[in-house]
Amino acid sequence: MADEKNRRIQVDLSGQTAIVTGASRGIGKAIAMRLAASGAKVACVARSADKLTETADAIAAAGGTAEVHPCDVTDSAAVTKLVEDLAEKWGGIDIVVNNAGITKDTLIPRMEDEMWDAVIATNLRSVFLFTRAASLVMMRKRSGRIINISSVSGLMGNPGQSNYSASKAGVIGLTRTVAQELAGRKVTVNAVCPGFIASEMTDALGPAILDEVKKRIPAKRLGEAEEVADAVLYLASNSAAYITGEVITIDGGLTP
Protein backbone atom coordinates (compact mmCIF):
# COMPACT_ATOMS: atom_id res chain seq x y z
CA MET A 1 0.00 0.00 0.00
CA ALA A 2 2.10 2.87 -1.32
CA ASP A 3 0.26 5.69 0.43
CA GLU A 4 0.96 4.06 3.80
CA LYS A 5 4.72 4.60 3.47
CA ASN A 6 4.43 8.14 4.73
CA ARG A 7 2.60 7.20 7.92
CA ARG A 8 4.49 7.74 11.16
CA ILE A 9 4.17 4.18 12.47
CA GLN A 10 5.84 1.37 10.57
CA VAL A 11 5.23 -2.19 11.74
CA ASP A 12 5.99 -5.46 9.99
CA LEU A 13 3.21 -7.99 10.54
CA SER A 14 4.25 -10.26 7.68
CA GLY A 15 3.17 -13.84 8.29
CA GLN A 16 0.72 -12.87 11.03
CA THR A 17 -3.03 -13.40 11.03
CA ALA A 18 -5.73 -11.12 12.38
CA ILE A 19 -9.47 -11.06 13.00
CA VAL A 20 -11.23 -7.69 12.96
CA THR A 21 -14.90 -7.53 13.92
CA GLY A 22 -17.08 -4.71 12.68
CA ALA A 23 -14.73 -4.38 9.72
CA SER A 24 -17.38 -3.22 7.27
CA ARG A 25 -17.03 0.52 7.90
CA GLY A 26 -15.53 3.34 9.92
CA ILE A 27 -12.95 2.50 12.54
CA GLY A 28 -13.15 -1.24 11.90
CA LYS A 29 -12.47 -0.81 8.20
CA ALA A 30 -9.54 1.51 8.90
CA ILE A 31 -8.08 -1.01 11.34
CA ALA A 32 -8.46 -3.92 8.92
CA MET A 33 -6.78 -1.92 6.16
CA ARG A 34 -3.97 -0.77 8.45
CA LEU A 35 -3.17 -4.30 9.65
CA ALA A 36 -3.26 -5.62 6.09
CA ALA A 37 -1.03 -2.76 4.91
CA SER A 38 1.50 -3.92 7.48
CA GLY A 39 1.50 -7.46 6.10
CA ALA A 40 -1.10 -9.31 8.17
CA LYS A 41 -3.67 -11.62 6.64
CA VAL A 42 -6.99 -10.23 7.86
CA ALA A 43 -10.36 -11.90 8.42
CA CYS A 44 -12.99 -9.19 8.07
CA VAL A 45 -15.99 -10.03 10.25
CA ALA A 46 -19.48 -8.50 10.51
CA ARG A 47 -23.07 -9.61 10.19
CA SER A 48 -23.50 -8.66 6.53
CA ALA A 49 -21.19 -9.67 3.68
CA ASP A 50 -21.93 -6.71 1.40
CA LYS A 51 -19.91 -4.00 3.14
CA LEU A 52 -17.28 -6.52 4.22
CA THR A 53 -16.63 -7.30 0.57
CA GLU A 54 -15.95 -3.62 -0.05
CA THR A 55 -13.35 -3.65 2.74
CA ALA A 56 -11.70 -6.82 1.46
CA ASP A 57 -11.68 -5.50 -2.11
CA ALA A 58 -10.04 -2.26 -0.96
CA ILE A 59 -7.39 -4.25 0.89
CA ALA A 60 -6.74 -6.47 -2.13
CA ALA A 61 -6.55 -3.46 -4.46
CA ALA A 62 -3.84 -2.00 -2.22
CA GLY A 63 -1.85 -5.22 -2.26
CA GLY A 64 -3.00 -6.75 1.01
CA THR A 65 -4.68 -10.04 1.87
CA ALA A 66 -8.17 -10.26 3.37
CA GLU A 67 -11.03 -12.71 3.70
CA VAL A 68 -14.73 -12.04 4.21
CA HIS A 69 -16.44 -13.89 7.07
CA PRO A 70 -20.07 -12.93 7.77
CA CYS A 71 -20.94 -13.92 11.32
CA ASP A 72 -23.45 -13.05 14.01
CA VAL A 73 -20.94 -11.82 16.57
CA THR A 74 -23.42 -12.43 19.41
CA ASP A 75 -23.88 -16.13 18.57
CA SER A 76 -21.63 -18.25 20.77
CA ALA A 77 -21.56 -21.32 18.53
CA ALA A 78 -20.97 -19.27 15.38
CA VAL A 79 -18.10 -17.31 16.93
CA THR A 80 -16.44 -20.42 18.35
CA LYS A 81 -16.65 -22.20 15.00
CA LEU A 82 -15.28 -19.21 13.10
CA VAL A 83 -12.28 -18.82 15.38
CA GLU A 84 -11.55 -22.55 15.44
CA ASP A 85 -11.86 -22.83 11.65
CA LEU A 86 -9.56 -19.87 11.05
CA ALA A 87 -7.02 -21.14 13.57
CA GLU A 88 -6.94 -24.52 11.85
CA LYS A 89 -6.76 -23.00 8.38
CA TRP A 90 -4.09 -20.45 9.25
CA GLY A 91 -2.15 -22.44 11.81
CA GLY A 92 -3.07 -20.03 14.58
CA ILE A 93 -4.38 -16.52 15.20
CA ASP A 94 -2.03 -13.74 16.20
CA ILE A 95 -4.28 -10.69 16.55
CA VAL A 96 -7.94 -10.16 17.43
CA VAL A 97 -9.51 -6.70 17.30
CA ASN A 98 -12.96 -6.57 18.88
CA ASN A 99 -14.53 -3.53 17.25
CA ALA A 100 -18.14 -4.55 16.46
CA GLY A 101 -20.58 -2.10 17.99
CA ILE A 102 -24.00 -0.50 17.64
CA THR A 103 -25.96 2.30 19.28
CA LYS A 104 -29.62 2.52 20.23
CA ASP A 105 -29.78 5.86 22.02
CA THR A 106 -32.51 7.26 24.21
CA LEU A 107 -32.94 8.50 27.77
CA ILE A 108 -33.27 5.80 30.41
CA PRO A 109 -37.04 6.26 31.08
CA ARG A 110 -37.74 5.50 27.42
CA MET A 111 -35.19 2.74 26.91
CA GLU A 112 -36.84 -0.53 25.95
CA ASP A 113 -35.54 -3.96 26.93
CA GLU A 114 -34.65 -4.74 23.32
CA MET A 115 -32.58 -1.57 23.00
CA TRP A 116 -30.60 -2.46 26.11
CA ASP A 117 -30.15 -6.14 25.23
CA ALA A 118 -29.12 -5.52 21.61
CA VAL A 119 -26.40 -3.03 22.51
CA ILE A 120 -25.01 -5.13 25.37
CA ALA A 121 -25.00 -8.22 23.15
CA THR A 122 -23.19 -6.64 20.21
CA ASN A 123 -20.82 -4.39 22.13
CA LEU A 124 -19.93 -6.54 25.14
CA ARG A 125 -21.03 -10.14 24.66
CA SER A 126 -19.24 -10.29 21.29
CA VAL A 127 -15.99 -9.18 22.94
CA PHE A 128 -16.35 -11.94 25.52
CA LEU A 129 -17.09 -14.56 22.86
CA PHE A 130 -14.18 -13.73 20.57
CA THR A 131 -11.80 -13.25 23.50
CA ARG A 132 -12.73 -16.60 25.02
CA ALA A 133 -12.37 -18.46 21.73
CA ALA A 134 -9.14 -16.71 20.72
CA SER A 135 -7.55 -17.10 24.15
CA LEU A 136 -7.57 -20.88 23.80
CA VAL A 137 -5.73 -20.64 20.48
CA MET A 138 -3.27 -18.00 21.68
CA MET A 139 -2.45 -19.70 24.96
CA ARG A 140 -1.45 -22.86 23.10
CA LYS A 141 0.88 -20.80 20.92
CA ARG A 142 2.04 -18.71 23.89
CA SER A 143 1.61 -15.47 22.00
CA GLY A 144 -1.15 -13.16 20.86
CA ARG A 145 -2.65 -9.70 20.88
CA ILE A 146 -6.26 -8.96 21.82
CA ILE A 147 -7.28 -5.34 21.31
CA ASN A 148 -10.75 -4.21 22.34
CA ILE A 149 -12.34 -1.02 21.05
CA SER A 150 -14.16 0.69 23.90
CA SER A 151 -15.17 4.38 23.99
CA VAL A 152 -14.80 7.52 26.08
CA SER A 153 -18.50 6.95 26.82
CA GLY A 154 -17.39 3.98 28.89
CA LEU A 155 -15.14 6.27 30.93
CA MET A 156 -17.29 9.36 31.44
CA GLY A 157 -20.83 8.37 30.44
CA ASN A 158 -22.99 10.20 27.93
CA PRO A 159 -26.64 11.24 28.35
CA GLY A 160 -28.95 9.12 26.21
CA GLN A 161 -26.42 6.30 25.99
CA SER A 162 -26.83 4.33 29.20
CA ASN A 163 -26.77 1.04 27.25
CA TYR A 164 -23.77 2.06 25.10
CA SER A 165 -21.82 3.51 28.03
CA ALA A 166 -22.50 0.42 30.14
CA SER A 167 -21.35 -1.87 27.35
CA LYS A 168 -18.14 0.08 26.76
CA ALA A 169 -17.38 0.30 30.49
CA GLY A 170 -17.86 -3.46 30.58
CA VAL A 171 -15.31 -3.84 27.80
CA ILE A 172 -12.76 -1.99 29.92
CA GLY A 173 -13.41 -4.21 32.95
CA LEU A 174 -13.22 -7.33 30.80
CA THR A 175 -9.97 -6.13 29.23
CA ARG A 176 -8.24 -5.48 32.54
CA THR A 177 -9.29 -8.81 34.02
CA VAL A 178 -8.42 -11.00 31.04
CA ALA A 179 -5.08 -9.20 30.70
CA GLN A 180 -4.15 -10.50 34.14
CA GLU A 181 -5.35 -14.00 33.30
CA LEU A 182 -3.39 -14.30 30.04
CA ALA A 183 -0.18 -12.36 30.76
CA GLY A 184 1.65 -15.47 31.89
CA ARG A 185 1.05 -17.02 28.47
CA LYS A 186 2.48 -13.97 26.68
CA VAL A 187 -0.92 -12.86 25.41
CA THR A 188 -1.60 -9.14 25.81
CA VAL A 189 -5.06 -7.64 26.16
CA ASN A 190 -5.59 -3.89 25.83
CA ALA A 191 -8.40 -1.45 25.12
CA VAL A 192 -8.59 1.66 22.98
CA CYS A 193 -11.14 4.35 23.82
CA PRO A 194 -11.89 6.62 20.87
CA GLY A 195 -13.61 9.94 21.43
CA PHE A 196 -15.50 11.71 18.66
CA ILE A 197 -14.15 10.21 15.45
CA ALA A 198 -15.22 11.38 12.00
CA SER A 199 -17.61 8.71 10.72
CA GLU A 200 -21.12 8.05 9.46
CA MET A 201 -22.25 8.17 13.09
CA THR A 202 -20.84 11.64 13.73
CA ASP A 203 -21.99 12.89 10.32
CA ALA A 204 -25.54 12.06 11.39
CA LEU A 205 -25.27 14.59 14.23
CA GLY A 206 -25.39 17.48 11.75
CA PRO A 207 -23.14 20.56 11.42
CA ALA A 208 -24.61 22.51 14.35
CA ILE A 209 -24.08 19.74 16.90
CA LEU A 210 -20.66 18.90 15.47
CA ASP A 211 -19.59 22.51 15.93
CA GLU A 212 -20.59 22.33 19.59
CA VAL A 213 -18.78 19.02 19.98
CA LYS A 214 -15.57 20.46 18.55
CA LYS A 215 -15.75 23.33 21.05
CA ARG A 216 -15.70 20.77 23.88
CA ILE A 217 -12.60 19.05 22.53
CA PRO A 218 -9.32 20.75 23.48
CA ALA A 219 -7.84 19.75 20.10
CA LYS A 220 -10.80 21.53 18.43
CA ARG A 221 -11.36 18.80 15.86
CA LEU A 222 -12.73 15.31 15.40
CA GLY A 223 -10.34 12.40 15.32
CA GLU A 224 -9.74 10.31 12.22
CA ALA A 225 -10.35 6.57 12.02
CA GLU A 226 -6.77 6.14 10.84
CA GLU A 227 -5.52 7.64 14.11
CA VAL A 228 -7.33 4.92 16.04
CA ALA A 229 -5.97 2.32 13.61
CA ASP A 230 -2.42 3.53 14.29
CA ALA A 231 -2.85 2.93 18.02
CA VAL A 232 -4.22 -0.55 17.34
CA LEU A 233 -1.29 -1.27 15.03
CA TYR A 234 1.17 -0.33 17.77
CA LEU A 235 -0.58 -2.55 20.33
CA ALA A 236 -0.50 -5.40 17.80
CA SER A 237 3.25 -5.02 17.31
CA ASN A 238 6.19 -6.65 19.08
CA SER A 239 7.05 -3.22 20.49
CA ALA A 240 3.99 -3.49 22.75
CA ALA A 241 4.84 -6.90 24.19
CA TYR A 242 5.08 -5.53 27.75
CA ILE A 243 1.90 -3.47 27.55
CA THR A 244 -1.21 -5.26 28.80
CA GLY A 245 -4.33 -4.30 30.72
CA GLU A 246 -4.00 -0.72 29.49
CA VAL A 247 -6.71 1.66 28.29
CA ILE A 248 -5.51 4.12 25.65
CA THR A 249 -7.76 7.13 25.12
CA ILE A 250 -7.78 8.80 21.72
CA ASP A 251 -10.00 11.84 22.12
CA GLY A 252 -8.04 15.05 21.58
CA GLY A 253 -8.01 15.76 25.31
CA LEU A 254 -11.76 15.43 25.88
CA THR A 255 -11.49 13.26 29.00
CA PRO A 256 -9.47 14.41 32.03
Active site residues: 164
Does an H or E element contain 96, and which? strand 95-98
What residues contact 59, with CB distance under 8 A and at least 6 apart? 32, 33, 36, 42, 44, 65, 66
Residue ranges of alpha helices (H) inside the chain are 26-37, 49-61, 76-90, 113-120, 126-141, 153-156, 162-182, 200-203, 207-216, 225-236
Which residue from 29, 37, 31, 35 is spatially nearest to 1, judged by alpha carbons?
37
Q: Strand, helix or coil at 215?
A: helix
CA geometry: angle at 11 spanning 62 and 201, to 5°?
60
Cα–Cα distance between 225 and 194 in angstroms, integer? 9
Q: What is the CA radius of gyration of the chain?
A: 17
Cα–Cα distance between 80 and 152 in angstroms, integer? 29
Beta bridge partners of 20: 44, 97
Cα–Cα distance between 231 and 251 in angstroms, integer? 12
What residues contact 162, with CB distance under 8 A and at least 6 apart? 108, 111, 116
